[in-house]
Amino acid sequence: MQGEPGALPQERQYQPQQQFMNPDTGAAVSIRGLAKQFEGKIAVNGLSLDIPIGSFYGLVGPNGAGKTTTLNMLTGLLVPDAGIALILGNNVWADTNHIKRMIGVMPQPDQIFDRLTGMQLLIYSGMLRGMARAEVQSRAQDLLHAFDLIDAANTMVSDYSAGMTKKICLATAMIHSPRILVLDEPFESVDPVSSANLKDILIEYAQTGGTVIISSHVMSLVEKMCTHVAIINRGQVAAAGTVHDVAAGGELEDRFLELVGGRHQAAHLSWLDGGNRGDGQTPQTQMPIQQMPGQQMPNAQGTVNGR
């Protein structure tokens, strides 16, 4: 297991020039000293991580921990300030086009051409990667069936619900059968049936040698599906390894809270009292009681017929 509790420095210092061990050229992904800041604000702070081939790897961390920024750097979408990222032994920034053929990245809903139908979007995504039209059409049908989108195949994506849009985004990442799938929050807004189907597809993909990297806030899902997990906190790896090792004999969620902290002792909003004001005042906006036909209204004491 990489990392230990309390490994984060008390005083955060940006470490873009940090010295690091050689990356692992045999890993699906090997990151060393990756760093990024936005207008002086540190997003990723010298992050190092190895993701084995064939693993189902979960990245978890609090909001703003740097997960998306890390994923964007390792998929060639964002230029790091410092550090190195290898995908299957290839430097991401030496030949980005070569890297992009090996990976499938789920686009964000605002990054797709939503004036296309679901089928058109999949065909476009496949042909963009050099696939023959007949092959893309056949795979698109398979994916639309797998994600329960076949009835919406000829509907414009702009008319899809949030969950349907998420599923078509996922399908575009898979159409070229990449060796590594990078999925940022893949299950968000997806209904339980489609989620279960997607989980089956991803688990089978990992069992046949593919590598899946997901970011998620749903700890139970990561614990159940993933073989490995990295807990990211404040732009660094707080712990990483197999789910079993990181959970250290307990629940992954407890381990996460222990490493990340941030629970509020006094998270008490005194004004949020469901209408029962602590000061004894009745809220002005109380709904008037409406009498239904045949129903007796309560008196001032709140009783009906003395009961």
Ligand X SMILES: Nc1ncnc2c1ncn2[C@@H]1O[C@H](COP(=O)(O)OP(=O)(O)OP(=O)(O)O)[C@@H](O)[C@H]1O
Kindly indicate which of the ranges 60-68, 116-124, 143-151, 261-269 contains the residues binding ligand X, using the contact rule CB under 6 A.
60-68
175/225 with CB nearer ligand X: 225
For residue 43, state whether it binds ligand X (rule: CB under 6 A): yes
Considering only residues 19-38, where is the footprint of ligand X by CB under 6 A? 38
Task: In angstroms, give the least distance from the CB of 20 to ligand X.
Answer: 20
> What are the backbone dihedrals phi and psi of residue 291, each rounded to the nearest 5 degrees, phi first?
-85, 125
43/260 with CB nearer ligand X: 43
Taking CB under 6 A as the criterion, the residue among 30, 45, 48, 68 binding ligand X is 68
Tell me the two tokens of residue 109: 């809903």
- List, in sequence order, the alpha helices (H) in 147-251: 162-174, 192-207, 219-225, 243-247
Amino acid (one-letter) located at 138: S
Task: State the number of binding residues for ligand X (CB under 6 A).
Answer: 10
Taking CB under 6 A as the criterion, the residue among 66, 83, 118, 210 binding ligand X is 66
Taking CB under 6 A as the criterion, the residue among 10, 19, 22, 63 binding ligand X is 63
The residue written with tokens 């809903």 in the block is 109
140/231 with CB nearer ligand X: 231
3-state secondary structure string across 235-272: CEEEEEEEHHHHHCCCCHHHHHHHHHCCCCCCCCCCCC
- What does the buried/exposed string (b/e) look like for 285-302 if buried means 16 or more CB atoms within 10 Å of the residue's CB? eeeeeeeeeeeeeeeeee
For residue 69, state whether it binds ligand X (rule: CB under 6 A): yes
Taking CB under 6 A as the criterion, the residue among 58, 61, 118, 178 binding ligand X is 61
Amino acid (one-letter) located at 223: E
CA pair distance 255, 129, nearest whole angstrom: 41
For residue 65, state whether it binds ligand X (rule: CB under 6 A): yes
Which stretches of the chain bind ligand X, using CB under 6 A?
38, 43, 61, 63-69
